[in-house]
Structure formats: structure tokens, C-alpha cells
Amino acid sequence: MPESVRWIIDTLLNKGYQAYAVGGCVRDSLMGNIPHDWDICTNALPNEVKRVFSGEKIIETGIKHGTVTLIKEHMPFEITTFRSESTYSDNRHPDSVVFEKNVSADLSRRDFTVNAIAYNPYDGFIDLYDGMNDMENKTIKAVGNGDERFKEDALRILRALRFASVLGFTIDEDTSLSIHGNKELLKNIAVERIWVEFCKLLTGKNAVIILREYIDVIAVFMPEIASMVGFDQHNPHHCYDVWEHTLHALAFAENDLVIRLVVLFHDCGKPYTFTMDNNNVGHFYAHAQKSCEIAGQILSRLKTDNYTKNAVLTLIKHHDRIIEPTEKSVKKAVRKLGNAEMFEKLLKVKNCDVQAQAEYLVKSRLQILQQIAEIYTKSKEENSFIFSAKNLAINGNDIMALGVKQGKEIGYILNILLESVLDGKIENNHDILIRKVSEIISN
């Protein structure tokens, strides 16, 4: 426990109040992790807390719900009065709160047992719902009745999935039944909050397990992806249905939000583009474009930031792009992606995709990806990538010096030069490019 937290608790205790660290900070500490923040609960009313810490900087962050924030050593510490809560008309916020005198009442309103543990150095752990045992057994379990907890705050449904994914826990059977049974309540939650929780879920260590078991819950706010479940590809290159292929690919994805989102959505257009040929083999022509369209709808609806949205859609669009293990093909692909970072992400996406295909293909396709990566690395070290005419060894002034007037013709010539360099027909060398310009002018 940091000295500043100990000081806050001691100060409240010395004034005759109760005080405990509570919630996620206690959970994380017990698991051996460093908490991101520390929350303190107390029987002191908000105005009494302000009076106790009158010489400190206090922000009234949620005073009507009993919370003030104390700034100590440039760090925020939330101090909340013990409380119980009334009905939740909007399935998110209590209509009113009642300040309580005992920590037991406060712990009874919390979401999960692992988050319902209070601690101070004098009383030790206050664990009324056996949260420490659930932590030991790696279990997420609702405090009391799961239906009540989720109807109070439907975001807890996603929080349960997020905790299970991030912590590597399983979800208690009764709590799981309540999650499935109350999933429609997520429609009452702001999409911004859903997006934050989903991103944490998707980048958790157990993301694949949670997505497989709770696809019906995810489909409440991403209904478009449900069509992947059980969709037979009828193709010898694939040994899984579309959803299982997606999940197996995700299992190989590094903990990068953009890459995981791309892998999640890369084939969501397949059910909408499926055709069967005369040999009963399934095909998905233009599925990348359809997947891009669907992912765009989902990301826009969830109000994703522009960087993430644009990166994800670009990579989905190019995820099945054919790249030959040649310098020319690699450089063209890098240019199409726009920058080296995006190309590197594309290779990682392709690696995930390949490893979830039919076993007979995996080894050969991974070898090709390795060759492509080696060519890319060599070109990057040589700084030989050309992304636009700006990277050419000559510019518009050089062309005008040869007698070409300023205007569209300069752009036309630069484009010819760029294509010639990208095709490997000429080198990106000043003298060589000048000779090429002279040829173009003379013709």
C-alpha cells in the first residue's frame, strides 16, 4: 500500500471515522499486480471528508453519489462514503443513494466478489462474499443475485467478460446464466462505454474463450458478426466454419488492438458473399470489401476513434491481397498500405489468417510470408521504399528546368516516373530519372 493511501486512511481513522481501500486496487494487490489507482471508502460524509482534508486539494467529482477526489502528490484518490443504492431506472445509474454507516452495506452493492473486498492495515481484509476464495479459484462471480446486479448496471455484463478475459478467469455458472439472460440490457448502455470494455476484453489473454462462449452477448451490439457462427465455408482451404476460423486466427494475434480488430472482422463479409460453383466448392468473391463495409458500420456505430477505424478498415481491405515474395511486389504492397507500420501489421494479420486455414496449406504459406518479411526488412534497412512522387530523386523544379511548363504535365511525368521505379524498370537515381524525363518530352 502506497504511503499516500496509508496516510489518507490514517487521517480518517484519527478523526474517528472508518476507512478502507476497496475494490480493484485490493484485488490487483492480492494478485501481485500494481494497481492503476486506489479507491478509499469511509463512513465520513462528503462534507466531512472535505473538512478532514481541508488543507488539501479536493475535487467534487461525484459528490451527490458520495465521491470526492483528493489530489495527493499529483495523484488522484477517490474517497467515497459507504452507500447503498435504490432502483436503477436506466440500468446504469442509481436513481438515488443512501449513505451508510457500515462497510458491509457498501460491499453488498458491488459488482463481483473479487471487487468486494475492503482492507486497512488495522482490521485486515473485510471479505464478506468470499472474494479471496473466488480469486484463488480464478472465478468471476456476482455479489449476491446476478440478475439484480446486472439489472442495476448492465455494463457489468461486459465488465464480467472483460475481467474474465484480462485476468484469465472463468465465470461462475449462475453468473454466466444471468449474463446470457440479461444481455439485451446492453442496448441501454452508451456505446462509448461498451467500446471501452470491449477493447479491453478483446486484448485480454482469454479473449478467444470469452468470444466463443459469449458470442450471443457480443452480438447485441455487433449483430452483424453473428452470421459467421456455424457458417460452413465448403472450401478445401478451410477446415473451420467462418467463426471458428476467426477465433483460431485470433489465438495467434499479438496483443495489439488494431490487429485483433482486423482479425475479428476480416471475414465478417463471407456469409454475405458466399457462392457455390459446379463442383460444390464455396467461394467468397469480394468478401474483403464487404467485410470492410460491415466493420465500418460497426466501428462508426460504436464511435471508434478515427485512427483505429481507418487502420482497421485499411488492413481488412488488403488482408487477402496477393503479395509475391519479390522486391517489386513487396514494395508495391508497402506503397498501397501507405507506410511501413501498416505493412508490418498486414503481415501479422496474414500470419494469423494462414495459421487458421487447412493444415496442408499452413507450412508453405508461412514460408512465403517469411520470405516476404525478409525482403521487406532488407528494403527497409536500405531505405529504398517509395510511397509517392515526393520520394523520387527529382522534383517538379528539375522537370521545369528541362523546358516543361508548370501545370498538370509535371504531375503526369512524375506519375510515369513513379510507376517505372515501382515496376523496377528504372532506378530512383537523379541522372537516370532526368534521362527518362527527356525521353518522355521528346516523344
> How confident is residue 400, by pLDDT bands cut at 50, 70 and 90?
very high
Strand pairing of 170-171 and 139-140? parallel
Q: Which residue has the cell 466448392?
A: 281
Its domain, for residue 395, covers: 389-442
Residues 426, 324 share a domain: no
- Tens-digit pLDDT profile for residues 117-131: 999 999 999 999 999
Type and span of the H or E element at 22: strand 19-22
Beta-strand relationship, 39-42 and 75-81:
parallel
- Indicate if the pLDDT at residue 93 is higher than 70: no
Residue with cell 474463450: 209
pLDDT exceeds 80 at position 189: yes
User: What totals of helices (H) and strands (E) does the chain contain, helices first?
Assistant: 22, 13
418 band by pLDDT with thresholds 50, 70 and 90: confident
Question: For residue 229, what pLDDT band results from cuts at 50, 70 and 90?
Answer: very high
pLDDT value of residue 361: 93
Domains in the chain: how many in total?
Answer: 4
pLDDT of the residue at 63? 84
Average pLDDT over residues 188-197: 97
User: pLDDT of 359-379, one tens digit each?
Assistant: 999 999 999 999 999 999 998
**Least confident span in 46-60, 65-79, 86-100:** 86-100
DSSP 298-324: HHHHTT--HHHHHHHHHHHHHTT----
What average pLDDT does range 321-338 have in this prediction? 92
- Asked if 119 and 125 count as a contact pair (C-beta separation under 8 A), the reply is yes
Q: Cell numbers of 439, please?
A: 525521353
* β-strands 67-72, 139-140 pairing: unpaired
pLDDT at res. 332:
87
- pLDDT score of 33 more than 80: yes
pLDDT bracket for residue 225 (50, 70, 90): very high
**Residues 344 and 240 reside in one and the same domain:** yes
Rounded Cα gap, residues 374 and 385, in angstroms: 14
CATH number, domain of 82, equals 3.30.460.10
- The alpha carbons of the chain give a radius of gyration, in whole angstroms, of 29
Q: Is residue 337's pLDDT more than 70?
A: yes
State whether the Cα torsion 71-77-83-86 is positive or negative: positive
At residue 94, the pLDDT reads 63
**Predicted confidence (pLDDT) at residue 185 exceeds the cutoff of 90:** yes
Q: Where is the domain boundary, 381, 402, 433?
A: 381
**Nearest-CA neighbor of 20 among 71, 72, 82?**
82
Over 80: is that where the pLDDT of 387 sits?
no
Q: Which helix (H) or strand (E) holds 171?
A: strand 170-171
- Mean pLDDT across 13-30: 97
Task: Give residue 181's pLDDT band: very low, low, confident or very high (50, 70, 90).
Answer: very high
Mean pLDDT of 43-50: 95
CA nearest neighbour of 279 among 232, 236, 240: 236
Residue 149 belongs to domain with CATH number: 1.10.110.30
Same domain, 402 and 321: no
Q: What is the pLDDT of residue 88?
A: 64
* Domain co-membership, 133 together with 154: no
pLDDT score at 433: 94
Strand bridging mode 118-120 / 139-140: unpaired
Q: Is the pLDDT of residue 443 over 90?
A: no
Write out the E strands in 23-74: 39-42, 57-62, 67-72
41 and 79 inside one domain: yes
Same domain assignment for residues 115 and 208: no
Decide if 160 contacts 181 (C-beta within 8 A): no
221, 245, 276 - which closes a domain: 221
Of 191, 221, 251, the domain-final residue? 221
Q: pLDDT value at position 73?
A: 87
Which among 142, 143, 23, 16 is positioned nearest to 79, based on CA atoms? 23
Averaged pLDDT of the chain = 94
Same structural domain, 233 and 299: yes
- Confidence at 92, pLDDT banded by 50, 70, 90: low
Cα–Cα distance between 209 and 198 in angstroms, integer? 14
Please, where are the H alpha helices in 268-384? 270-273, 287-301, 306-318, 327-337, 340-355, 359-381
pTM of the model: 0.88
pLDDT, position 64: 84
Same domain, 241 and 330: yes
Q: Percent helix, strand and coil across the chain, each rounded to 5? A: 55, 10, 35
pLDDT for 389 equals: 83
- Give pLDDT, residue 87: 66
Strands 67-72 and 124-126: unpaired
pLDDT bucket at 76, cuts 50 / 70 / 90: very high
